[in-house]
Amino acid sequence: MKTTYKFLVITMVFLTIGITINACSSTKKTVTDETTTAVAEVEEEFKLEKSGAQYWGETCNRCHLAPSPADYNDTDWETISLHMRVRANLTENEITKIEEFLKSAN
């Protein structure tokens, strides 16, 4: 009788520990996943919302001083954009935004 009681108590203790560990670890995992997803979503949003002026400041300075929008006229900027898109390996979205910025500010 006494042995059965001890066995029961030990079983209950291990069960409680097991349930606690399981509950804690699964909660932690869910929170981490949610945070990672939220961070990725915010990053994506900011990426999509970068302006032409931002892209111009970030990319056109890499190899030479970024030329001022006033340096060339609209027709020149079209040719230069094609040329620099190839040089800088830019996406269509990036070069379109940069070109729009350069044309709007000259």
Helices (H), 49-104: 52-59, 74-88, 92-104
Binding residues for ligand HEC restricted to 75-104, rule: CB under 6 A: 80, 83-84, 87-88, 98
Identify whether the C-beta of residue 42 lies closer than 8 Å to the C-beta of residue 36.
no
Tell me: does residue 62 bind ligand HEC (CB under 6 A): yes
Residue 101: CB atoms within 10 Å:
19
Does residue 70 touch ligand HEC according to CB under 6 A? no
Q: Count residues contacting ligand HEC (CB under 6 A)?
A: 12
Residue with smaller CB distance to ligand HEC, 59 or 103: 59
DSSP classification of residue 25: H
If the CB atoms of residues 53 and 67 are measured against ligand HEC, the closer one turns out to be: 67
Residue 52 is a binding residue for ligand HEC (CB under 6 A): no
28 binds ligand HEC (CB under 6 A): no
Is 98 exposed, middle or buried, given 0-12, 13-18 or 19+ CB atoms closer than 10 A?
buried
Interface residues toward ligand HEC, by CB under 6 A? 59-60, 62-64, 67, 80, 83-84, 87-88, 98
